[in-house]
Amino acid sequence: MHLCEAILSSGLKMGWTAEGRVKPTDLEMFKMMRRAGCSTFSMGVESGSPAILRTLDKKATVAEAERAFAQAREAGLLRVAFFMVGCPGETRYDFEMTRALLRRLKPEMIQVANFTAYPGSRAYESYLKSMNLPWERFQHYERLTNLSAESDEMVRQWQKTLYMDLLTGGDFAFRYLLKQNVGMLLNLDREISFAMKAARKLLQ
């Protein structure tokens, strides 16, 4: 809020984007961001499964994600949802809850990353330390280190499924390609980056 107030009081006219959590957020904050020139807010949702959110120690609920996305939309922001697949113990049932949440959130764009237990994290100490993996394996988008209850093939398909769910949603073309085209042009470099990542996954 202090940043937005400083931008507004200075008279500075600039477009910008931000990334953050689904909380603490509220409608007042989102409206202030929009007034100060923010076009897009990307939020880490990760999963639609309460069990997986607890495993990830997310300290945020599905209901809080839904509230944040609804308020950001009301404020006029474009919204990017960050999801993860291959989380420890994740099952097909957990993934279906994530698909259902995506349909409810109706974001303008998504990014679906592989769960990555970076060295130094609790997950790395619990699952991967003894494997002595090379550093190049720790790429949350291009490399898969699957800790779910399902096969590598299935987890890779989960990524593609979420992107296809977004693209084939009934009003995606209106929300993103038509209604939001001005915001997309103001934020072209970031939008192209997300779109190219999605396209690579769908074509693999």
pLDDT digits (tens, 9 = 90+) for 12-40: 999 999 999 999 999 999 999 999 999 99
Band of the pLDDT at 170, cuts 50, 70, 90?
Answer: low
Residue 137's pLDDT is 82
Specify the pTM.
0.84
DSSP letter string, the chain? -HHHHHHHHHT----EEEEE-SSS--HHHHHHHHHTTEEEEEEEEE-S-HHHHHHTT----HHHHHHHHHHHHHTT-EEEEEEEES-TT--HHHHHHHHHHHHHH--SEEEEEEP---TTSHHIIIIIGGG---GGG--TTT-----SSS-HHHHHHHHHHHHHHHHTSTTHIIIIIITTHHHHHHTHHHHHHHHHHHHHHHH-
Band of the pLDDT at 142, cuts 50, 70, 90?
Answer: confident
pLDDT digits (tens, 9 = 90+) for 74-128: 999 999 999 999 999 999 999 999 999 999 999 999 999 999 999 999 999 998 8
Residue 191's pLDDT is 53
pLDDT digits (tens, 9 = 90+) for 175-198: 655 555 555 545 555 555 656 666
Residue 181's pLDDT is 52
- What crossing angle do the helices spanning 92-105 and 152-167 adopt, rounded to 10°? 20
Residue 169's pLDDT is 77
Residue 51's pLDDT is 98
Cα three-residue angle 104-108-114, rounded to 5 degrees = 80
Measure CA 137 to chain center: 21
Band of the pLDDT at 138, cuts 50, 70, 90?
Answer: confident
Residue 44's pLDDT is 97
Residues in the chain: 204
Residue 135's pLDDT is 85
Band of the pLDDT at 134, cuts 50, 70, 90?
Answer: confident
Q: Are strands 38-46 and 16-20 parallel, antiparallel or unpaired?
A: parallel
Work out the burial of residue 66: count CB atoms within 10 Å of its CB; fewer than 13 is exposed, 13-18 middle, 19 or more buried: middle
Q: Write down all domains in the chain, each with its CATH number in brackets.
A: 15-126+150-203 (3.30.750.200)
